[in-house]
Amino acid sequence: GIQVEQSPPDLILQEGANSTLRCNFSDSVNNLQWFHQNPWGQLINLFYIPSGTKQNGRLSATTVATERYSLLYISSSQTTDSGVYFCAGNSGGGADGLTFGKGTHLIIQP
Partner 1 sequence: EAEVAQSPRYKITEKSQAVAFWCDPISGHATLYWYRQILGQGPELLVQFQDESVVDDSQLPKDRFSAERLKGVDSTLKIQPAELGDSAMYLCASSLGLAGGGEQFFGPGTRLTVL
Name residues contacting partner 1, limited to 41-70 (CB under 8 A). Answer: 41-43, 45, 48, 50
Query: Contact between 86 and partner 1 (CB under 8 A)?
Result: yes
Query: Is the separation of the CB atoms in 70 and 34 below 8 Å?
Result: yes
Binds partner 1 (CB under 8 A): choice among 3, 28, 30, 53: 30
Nearest 10 degrees: Cα torsion 49, 52, 54, 58: 100
Query: Contact between 35 and partner 1 (CB under 8 A)?
Result: yes
Taking the complex as a whole, the smallest distance from the CB of residue 37 to partner 1 amounts, in Å, to 9
Q: Which is nearer to partner 1, 77 or 101 (CB)?
A: 101
Query: Contact between 2 and partner 1 (CB under 8 A)?
Result: no
SS (H, E, C) the chain: CCCEEEECCEEEEECCCCEEEEEEECCCCCEEEEEEECCCCCEEEEEECCCEEEEECCEEEEEEHHHCEEEEEECCCCHHHCEEEEEEEECCCCCCCCEECCCEEEEEEC
How many residues bind partner 1 (CB under 8 A)? The answer is 26
Query: Contact between 83 and partner 1 (CB under 8 A)?
Result: no
Residues in contact with partner 1 by the rule CB under 8 A: 4, 30-31, 33, 35, 40-43, 45, 48, 50, 86, 88, 90, 92, 94-103
